[in-house]
Amino acid sequence: MSLLAEEDTVQAHLGLRWVPGFSELGPAFFTSLRPTPLPAPYWVGHSDPLARALGLPPDWRTDEALAGLTGNVQIAGTSPLATVYSGHQFGVWAGQLGDGRAILLGEIDTGWELQLKGAGRTPYSRMGDGRAVLRSSIREFLCSEAVHALGIPTTRALCVTGSDAPVVREEIETAAVVTRAAPSFVRFGHFEHFAAANRVDELRALADFVIDRFYPACRHDARFEHFGGNAYAAFLEAVSERTAALMAQWQSVGFCHGVMNTDNMSILGLTIDYGPFQFLDGFDPRHICNHSDTGGRYAYNQQPNVAYWNLFCLAQALLPLIGVQEVAVAALQSYKTVFPDAYEARMRAKLGLPASAPDDRALVEGVLKLLAQEKVDYTIFWRRLADHKAGGDPHAVRDLFLDRTGIDTWLSAFAERHARVPAAQAAQSMRQANPKFVLRNHLGQQAIEAAQRKDFSGVATLLKLLESPFEDHAGHEAYAGFPPDWASTIEISCSS
Ligand code: AMP
Ligand code: MG
């Protein structure tokens, strides 16, 4: 079979309609290249809901699709490329970075871009090998779909394919490729790249591209009229507000990203680049999930401030387009109200309160203080509180605390606040706001270890639970239980 025929066959199996997208920006923004093949690939995991959203046929997981999505055969109609970006890493300007191991296949007509992460070296790989290991690929795959199911904006993951090709990290591991999907993978760092090099024409082209596609309201909406038609200032404000809303969601579910460098900040306010992330087990506001983050720059309670710091970097980058420094600074101001308002609304939802009341903040702060005092399991506490509201055993909540007086006082205040809220409605909405299943480190680890032995059933089971995290899933209680002691010894670093 000729190469062209193979390309066409893969495309025919996937049936995707490719359209021009990021590549229209021109060669200043990327390098065209081909993925590097991996030997004897196999399926590790896949997301049916995303496959449907992308418009793939029901039987899409053919050998041809496997070859195409591992990067072994180019898919006809795609023009693979790696994009260039820069960024601040751990608070320091890191210069040029770029897609060192992610290759953008292109965009399809339903508005999704597809990217192969771990598909080989690119001109931006620096010292890296262009690969991703099975361990981190499974984590990214499961967490993308889990975060989506929690209702939090995120890049998605269609599948993971693996290969026995060795990859050197702290130990020898094996290679994998994640097929990621998002409306755009543009990061704050893409803007910083062109701003740092004083390439204002490219900076403007990129901003116009993103505004036209994703923020068209910035050009005309009355909401932005205080900027007097300055679409770039409006754009900065809109990105800042989406980022604020994202932080509120992360904080409310206890999600720690782990590496909030500006190159890992999505211009669309999506959760992006899952590395050393973690869902909190015991509630510790100062929790650091990234073993490499010795200073705790990206600790759980730092995330909203770090996002704001990152937005300042974006503002700096957009300054040549915005024109006046005061205007750029003004565009960031709403973060300071949007974040706390959004966070309070999220926490109110967790408490089952449909409308706000003056004491709500004290109620939230009160319970978080109690949780922090004893590092009570964050997910289990909230779910038990929801179950309690639904008529379940109140002791299940109290039993989580040694400080019984403290929790009893708080539960009385909670009950008093609920006196004016219909109970059935509150119980129902609390179960929709407090997940039973989150991707805890130890759950991911168990699925990974089985997958390393070529048993992929653990990945599939976990995915099923995480796809509907608010449902009860009878028979799967173990996945919703306390983490075992060894969970706290898992060390997740940037090595992936
Ligand atoms: P991260 O913090 O993992 O998002 O990655 C930071 C930068 O390092 C990005 O430019 C990545 O593309 C690059 N990178 C990370 N791992 C590798 C790798 N194994 N090979 C090539 N580039 C990599
Ligand atoms: Mg990254």
> Would you kindly state where each structural domain of the chain is located, as residue ranges?
11-188, 217-344, 345-433
Give the closest ligand to the alpha carbon of residue 82. Answer: 1
95 lines ligand 1 (CB under 6 A): no
Measured distance CA(419)–CA(430) in Å, rounded: 16
pTM of the model: 0.97
99 lines ligand 1 (CB under 6 A): yes
> Of all atoms in ligand 1, which is nearest to the CA of residue 259?
2
Q: Which residues contact 103 (CB under 8 A, 6 or more apart)?
A: 33, 35, 71, 80, 81, 82, 115, 116, 119, 120, 122
Task: Report pLDDT for 3.
Answer: 56
Q: What is the pLDDT of residue 1?
A: 47
The series of mean pLDDT values per 10 residues for the chain, 496 residues long, is 75 93 98 98 98 96 97 96 98 98 97 98 97 98 98 98 97 98 98 98 98 97 95 98 98 98 98 98 97 96 98 98 98 98 98 93 97 98 96 93 97 94 92 98 98 98 98 97 94 86
What's the gap in Å between 494 CA and the centre of ligand 2? Answer: 10
d(CA 86, CA 92): 11
Strand partners, 45: 160
- C-alpha–C-alpha distance, residues 285 and 27, integer Å: 44
pLDDT score recorded for residue 493: 82
Residue 265 alpha carbon to ligand 2 centre in Å: 8
User: Annotated active-site positions, please?
Assistant: 263
| CA 372 distance to own-chain centroid | 25
d(CA 200, ligand 2 centre) in Å: 24
Cβ–ligand 1 contact at 189 (below 6 Å): no
